[in-house]
Amino acid sequence: MLGSQAQLCAAFFHTERCYEAEAAADAPVLCLAPSRGSAASGVGSAGGDVRSAPVTCERQPTTVLVALLQRVQRDGEDPEPPLYECRYTNCFRGSVADTLHAEQAMMADAALLKLLRAQPESADPALVLTMYLTQQPCHFASGRVENARVTGQTSCTHALIEWRRRERLVERGVDLAIRVSRLFRAQWTDDSAHQDQQSLAVYGGRAGRARDGLRLLMRAPGVSVSMLNADDWRLLLGLCDGATQRSQLTLYRHEHSRLPDGWAEMEDADEQRAAFESAWVDKAVGTEVVVAARVAADTYYAELLNGLQHTPFESDRGRGAGGRAQQSGPRESGSASARSSRSRAKRTK
């Protein structure tokens, strides 16, 4: 279902640089299959030979969703196989506005709907639909400066809340567990890291909306949101191809301090890529060690999620699916530790 080690990394495992997490001294950039480069690039000279990676992880702006529908396990009961499992991805259909999101594909899945609608009403949780996602459902937060006018118009958060209401999932005792491998823009609390005022105007507001979307989901009845834990990673590994399941994973960490001076300003694209690749270092071998390192890397994000449950909405789009404001309050500012580091390189979008 999830393919090779490189495909698992591209869909779920790979982590990106986060300035706010760096300020908290907890910001490893991790990968299972970094680019192999060339013999001339010197890739791997800082540590393990990344040219030995069988294929290359190439992160793409695509959300992957694995949905598992299971019966709620009671104390003393043996675990049962899932009632249903399926993989969905975003589907670009010619324009950003027409793109089908992975969550939308899941909500329209006729086989899944048939199982949910066959569930009788229950006062207690009877089923749990677990969504393993690349990143949290969108909430008016996507897009870039160059396409800001036509993006940020979609909320899968609102769609999921409305879908649960329409399908009477609360009444049917169907909980929704959202497990994410990374956060999308919700962690961008340090406005000083943006490249310029135009970037701040676009991304600052959309970061607040991303946080509002998480608040909406976490405060909806029967819905939970969390980072992937060790058991979740083992489950996802079990959905990979046989070779990946049999192999011992190797973890690579990008050591930003190893980058040559001026690498970001290099005009030759191949030279710049080779410079970036030279900072990958072989850090750990062994599936359990790699899983533990990946979970530990999410400490900052897990704490951020916990904090969002108790803080006010930030924007005029911090609203429920019916359009009624849930709560209002001032916009959150970045942490003192994040804001004290204004000499850092600017955030790359």
Rg (CA), the chain: 21
**DSSP 3-state of 324:** coil
Q: Where are the domains of the chain?
A: 5-58+247-299, 64-233+300-339
10, 59 in Cβ contact below 8 A? yes
Using CB atoms within 10 Å of the CB of residue 210, give its burial: 0 to 12 exposed, 13 to 18 middle, 19+ buried.
buried
Per-residue confidence at 52, pLDDT binned at 50, 70, 90? very low
Q: Quote the tokens at residue 218.
A: 């976490």
Q: What is the pTM of this model?
A: 0.83
DSSP notation for 256-297: GGGSPTTGGG-S-HHHHHHHHHTTEEEEEESHHHHHHHHHHT
CATH code matching the domain that covers 64-233+300-339, chosen among 3.40.140, 2.60.40, 1.10.8, 3.40.50: 3.40.140
Give the type of residue at 152.
G
Tell me the pLDDT tens digit for each residue of 57-92.
Answer: 777 778 999 999 999 988 878 888 999 999 999 998
For strands 30-31 and 250-254, give the pairing: antiparallel
Tell me the pLDDT tens digit for each residue of 218-268.
Answer: 999 999 999 999 999 999 999 999 989 988 898 998 888 888 899 888 999
Distance CA 174, CA 69 (A): 9
